[in-house]
Amino acid sequence: MTVPVVNGSSCVSLFASSKELLDHAINFYTNIIGLTFHSETGNCIYLANKDNKLTIELNIDENGPSEADINAKRQKFVHQLNIHDWRSMESSVVIKCANLNQVIVTLQTFKQPLQISPNELFPNEVYTIDPLGNIIGFNAASHPMTLVPPMEKLKPQGLESAAMSASSSHFSRQDEGFKRRRNIAVMTSGGDAPGMNANVRAVVRAAIFRGCKAFAIMEGYEGLVRGGPDYIKEMTWHDVRGYLSEGGTNIGTARCKEFRERPGRLLGCKHLIEAGIDALIVCGGDGSLTGADLFRAEWPSLIQELKDNGDITAQQYDTYKHLNICGTVGSIDNDMATTDATIGAYSSLDRICKAIDYIDATANSHSRAFVVEVMGRHCGWLALMAGIATSSDYILIPEKPSSSKGWQDQMCTIVGKHRAEGKRKTIVIVAEGAITSDLIPITANEVKDVLVERLGLDTRVTTLGHVQRGGTAVAYDRMLATLQGVEAVKAVLEVTPDTPSPLIAIEENKIVRKPLVEAVKITKSVAAAIESKDFERAMSLRDSEFVEHLSNFMAMNSANHNEPSLPVNKRKRIAILNIGAPAGGMNSAVYAFATYCMSRGHTPYAIHNGFAGLARHESVRSMKWLEIEGWNSVGGSEIGTNRQTPEETDIGMIAHYFEKYQFDGLVIVGGFEGFVSLDQLEKARAMYPAFRIPMVLIPATISNNVPGTEYSLGSDTCLNSLMDYCDVVKQSASATRDRAFIIEVQGGNSGYIATYASLISGAQASYVPEEGIALDQLELDIKSLKETFAVDRGLSKSGKLILKSSNASKVLTTQVLADIMKEEGNGEFDTKTAIPGHVQQGGLPSPIDRTRAARFAIKAVQFIEDSVDKLAEYKFSLDWPDDNSISATAAVLGVKSSHLRFKSIRQLYDFETEIGKRMPKKVHWTRTRDVADQLVGRTRMRPPPS
């Protein structure tokens, strides 16, 4: 609990276990804090400020903590400096002061440990530790969240020499064990990847936010070997402005032969010490990260050699004895083990899918075949995911080769059957590392020759090359790079000399730390297994999701030409429908559902235009392979959708048609209306036996507000559309120099879109329905905008964005918000509004929505296959059991943290949902809001604790 001393008169009692500690406390509060002696009674000393509104009572109590206890406590807090908020660790006293910046400068002069909130650029509160081990905070205003001027504008003044001499000896002695402020460097190495700039921006600003100095090592390891201010540069907050929307890496990357040898690493060690750097974050591939970990392992011997040679002093040796290293993976190949995605991989996949979409159109026009070569020397991830996302006919990847003749026969059989069914075009994707089982490379031209000679197809070759690396990062890579950069800074502050170097990874939807050495070792083992022709081991070393995607591609691709994999008695009749607003990936889910059902022997049905179409028009159609060809890369909803739930139409008629068509399972693809519909159908099972079938909801809504999942189809497509829109608007605002755009985004009562769009666009603030728009928060944001524009005047890339969810406030509309900001800006800046509207639903679905839709749809069919027998005995029973295992056969398929799981609609609807708000009770993006605000220096009002 924090003791508030910012309002009214207050007296705080503090205890010292000895006279010596009491004297130290008196020195601290009088000479540093500026209190004066008020009175003395027995063993109690009273100190007060000028108007006597604050009184500190200092007591001697033998039961108080000893000096050893206090020092241990101080060490505990200093160890957590810039890692955890001290206020969350122990109760504290907050004192109102007239000049917060002066207090900060004074405490720094006396070498006191400080924790500044929210950051040094715009300090709001500062906390330190007094000689008795108490957490003491200072605030400059009667309201604890009022913004004060930036720190850099003030210098120490008015410090009396007597005061310094009276107290400096004690505080410098206690400071000996303090944790020194970290100097953190970031480097990009190896091949460039979209999102590296976002990663650098996040590291620099997160380091500054946590009270550290940030450095950039230019040109990768070559810059480390060369050293000097031209290659190792201290970075300021504003140096990384605009990095989010720029491709490549602005700090450069280069291969470095010198660093591979010990003398080169010795030079790198020397240059880091000269720059005062003790933590290094490397963004690169497995080779770059291997070099980083070797560098850390050799550091003790390197620094010892420098000391023995006289290249560094004994003090430097003691200060920089340990180097903390952390890795973030920047690689378009997505070839790093233990992480689901690497920075740049989905941006590269996006380039590939767009290119194939364009090629697809001309291929269809001329009835041609195209062979598309993509990158992936040792990993076929890009080729595999592009194959799924674009419904390609065949892929060739290094992990799953066949004999020199085997792949030719298989490809020609599949392509030939596709053509026989009436398909006019053929797309074959070849990874540049594609090989036969004898390790003989398979070239794109060789594939073309086979298609021409054996099938007589008019065939062309397209090699995408470095187009796959170019351009700005997609929304996912900006988000991934940013969150990993923030976590990397936290990691290098927390690790100890005994902690293995961490790698920042992602599992499903959760940022995690993995041992760097282990990840690199597994990654290199894949290449080694391929070289030794142990392809089974190579596949086993890939993550389980890679294996799952490959299995899914093969199943969908064999829908029309292989014998179904299930016996006749196991084959079912399964329906799918869309409900709610259109969302990117809906068609992909329908396509994957239908083709997978065909490969298994099930009969897939499409219910057109949702439940309303079924009840009114009996809009049920069985799905044919050629009819849905190409749907995977089409936006909108080809089978139609609307928002009406079963109870809003005619649930009895719906049950009638379910019985008529004898459906054995149902897949619903939709948003909150789909969630409500699943609840209604599950509740109606007791009355209508037709609903006693397994039912699955695949969440699909740009609002991402479905309980039970942290990801919904369409949300990534929406974020990409909104990101492009914001980039264009921000460019306009920057050209005008003194303009802020207030952009209204969709999302209903969910702040997901506004939060993540803010993170990936670098918006100054975002307003969401979960928080509303408080007037004091608005006032704070306007003051921040005024100061920012004043500092940025005349600089480039100075456009500002404010994002507002449409439901954030009914009173403060987007236009009203713009008018208030312009009026209160007093001429410092102009404001304009921008409303992207339904543009946010996107055009073509993103590769993430396409591939996840395929994964989710196939999982849903598998769930139905596994669950159908559980309901068989109750199909026509008069007594419907109240059993959790039975109700769990109606489930939501969702991503929760690092897991993909099914969760019962009963559990979710009854216990985890705010029905009136159409929202889950627990919001999972709160931490992301904090990060987005931290990286733009925004101070945000916190709601009072409940």
Q: State yes or no: 838 annotated in a binding site.
A: yes
Q: State yes or no: 333 annotated in a binding site.
A: yes
Q: State yes or no: 703 annotated in a binding site.
A: yes
Q: State yes or no: 926 annotated in a binding site.
A: no
Q: State yes or no: 701 annotated in a binding site.
A: yes
CA pseudo-torsion sign 442, 443, 445, 451: positive
Q: State yes or no: 918 annotated in a binding site.
A: yes
Strands (E), 131-222: 135-139, 183-188, 213-217
Q: State yes or no: 287 annotated in a binding site.
A: yes
Six token digits for residue 81 = 């400096």
Residues 6+ apart with CB under 8 A from 785: 740, 764, 800, 821, 825, 828, 829
Neighbours of 10 (CB within 10 A): 17
Q: State yes or no: 375 annotated in a binding site.
A: yes
d(CA 705, CA 723): 20
Q: State yes or no: 840 annotated in a binding site.
A: yes
Q: State yes or no: 285 annotated in a binding site.
A: yes
Q: State yes or no: 422 annotated in a binding site.
A: no
CA distances from 591 to 151, 629, 851, 923 (A): 58, 8, 11, 31
Q: State yes or no: 549 annotated in a binding site.
A: no
Q: State yes or no: 832 annotated in a binding site.
A: yes
Q: State yes or no: 839 annotated in a binding site.
A: yes
Q: State yes or no: 495 annotated in a binding site.
A: no
Q: State yes or no: 468 annotated in a binding site.
A: yes
Residues marked active site are found at 333
Residue closest to 698 by CA, chosen among 508, 886, 854, 925: 854
Q: State yes or no: 108 annotated in a binding site.
A: no
* Cα end-to-end span (Å), the chain: 13
Six token digits for residue 27 = 């020195």
d(CA 79, CA 603): 62
Residue closest to 858 by CA, chosen among 654, 590, 648: 590
Q: State yes or no: 332 annotated in a binding site.
A: yes
Q: State yes or no: 467 annotated in a binding site.
A: yes
Q: State yes or no: 1 annotated in a binding site.
A: no
Strands (E), 623-692: 665-670
Q: State yes or no: 255 annotated in a binding site.
A: yes
Q: State yes or no: 705 annotated in a binding site.
A: yes
Paired residues of 699 in beta bridges: 670
- How does DSSP classify residue 700? B
Q: State yes or no: 636 annotated in a binding site.
A: no
To the nearest 5 percent, what fractions of the chain are helix, strand and coil?
Answer: 45, 20, 35
Sheet order of strands, 369-374 included:
394-396, 426-431, 369-374, 459-463
d(CA 371, CA 358): 13
Greatest extent of the chain over all pairs of C-alpha atoms, in Å: 106
Neighbours of 315 (CB within 10 A): 8
CA Rg value for the chain? 31
Helices of type H across 16-99: 19-27, 67-79
Taking the CA atoms of residue 372, residue 377, residue 382 and residue 386 in that order, the dihedral angle to the nearest 10 degrees is 20
Q: State yes or no: 862 annotated in a binding site.
A: no
Q: State yes or no: 652 annotated in a binding site.
A: no
Six token digits for residue 161 = 């020499």
Chain center to CA of 361: 34
Task: List residues forming the annotated binding site for Mg(2+).
Answer: 286
Task: List residues forming the annotated binding site.
Answer: 191, 255-256, 285-288, 331-333, 368, 375-377, 432, 460, 466-469, 643, 701-705, 739, 746-748, 832, 838-841, 918
Task: List residues forming the annotated binding site for beta-D-fructose 2,6-bisphosphate.
Answer: 643, 701-705, 739, 746-748, 832, 838-841, 918
Task: List residues forming the annotated binding site for substrate.
Answer: 331-333, 368, 375-377, 432, 460, 466-469
Task: List residues forming the annotated binding site for ATP.
Answer: 191, 255-256, 285-288
